[in-house]
Amino acid sequence: MDFSIAFTPENIAVFLTLFVLELVLGIDNVIFISVLASKLPKELQARARNLGLTLAMIIRVILVFFAGWIITLTEPVFTIFGIDFSWKDIILIAGGLFLVYKAVTEIHHKLEGVEEGDHASDDGKPVTFLSVIVQILLLDIVFSLDSVITAVGMTSNMAIIVSVVVLSFGIMLFASRYIFAFVNKHPTVKMLALSFLMLIGAFLIAEGFHIHVEKAVIYGSMAFAVLVEVLNLAVARNRARRENKKRATVQLLPSYPRIDESVAVGAALSKAPGSGAVGLSAKPIEGDVDPEAEGRAGLG
């Protein structure tokens, strides 16, 4: 594992790309933690949310080191069609397949919706602080997998990965309201991030089969896509300003239609003085909802 820090153009590009991906893809984790914590009595909501957010960052760092150790296992364990496969290759292929599956499934849910009954509703059991924390812990692990696999797939420099994970999640702890509002207002940003997951997943699968792909090709494609999206957003904003009207964007469908996320979403979008909180705060999640807050349909 590489812990060296060198301010090369490649390392800077990797850092910035991972940083943006962590912010856009990680905001779902923050909001879902608030959804679970909002089931508790109001006086326990802030405590559960803050503990859940702290655990989320710790779990990410632990998984990063675990994944970083696994990919150093380069000794061949079996051979198929003349290709030697090590544990590193197996992890890269499995991780790549997971990223492609996660990205395609998420895009489908956001645009097509899910079938009724795909996700179970509450079973009526009483909600306790411990049960919510256990749910949040499991949720943190699931949401951290794509984040960690993406980071390890883009670079082997652990200093970059850990600093990106800590910095991005640290910013989300205090600025999640603004990040969520931006992603909610510009759903194409979320779709672009998910398409990056597919690109990185395909790269990992190729690496697992010893097909070398220059990382500059990956970074160049991402940089060009981001540039195009920035220009699109700027053009759309200027056009709306000239025409003096509010921009209309596509509303993403909820991935979990049978889960009531209204309280957490209200806390994320409301600007009312007594609004709730979704980041680190002493405030509960429940609070005043701003009637002029922009509506939205699905997480992220």
pLDDT tops 80 at residue 253 = no
Cβ partners under 8 Å of residue 40, min gap 6: 48, 127, 129, 132
Does residue 276 form part of some domain? Answer: no
- Under a CB-based contact definition with an 8 Å cutoff, are residues 53 and 201 in contact? no
Does residue 202 form part of some domain? Answer: yes
Across the range 191-195, mean pLDDT stands at: 88
Does residue 125 form part of some domain? Answer: yes
Q: What are 2-59's pLDDT values in tens digits?
A: 566 677 777 888 888 888 888 887 888 888 888 888 888 888 899 999 998 888 888 8
Collapsed DSSP state (helix, strand, coil) of residue 280: coil
Does residue 273 form part of some domain? Answer: no
pLDDT tops 70 at residue 300 = no
Q: Cα dist. 283→31, 220, 267, 288 in Å?
A: 15, 42, 10, 12
Q: What are 63-118's pLDDT values in tens digits?
A: 888 877 877 788 888 888 888 888 888 888 988 898 899 889 888 888 887 654 44
Q: Domain limits at 32?
A: 9-77+86-252
CA 127 to chain centre: 26
Confidence of residue 228 (pLDDT cuts 50, 70, 90): very high
Number of domains composing the chain: 1
Name residue, tokens 């290759």. Answer: 89
pLDDT at position 186 is 84
pLDDT at position 69 is 81
Does residue 172 form part of some domain? Answer: yes
Q: What are 111-145's pLDDT values in tens digits?
A: 887 654 444 445 556 678 888 888 888 888 887 88
Q: State the Cα–Cα distance between residues 285 and 38, nearest whole angstrom.
A: 6
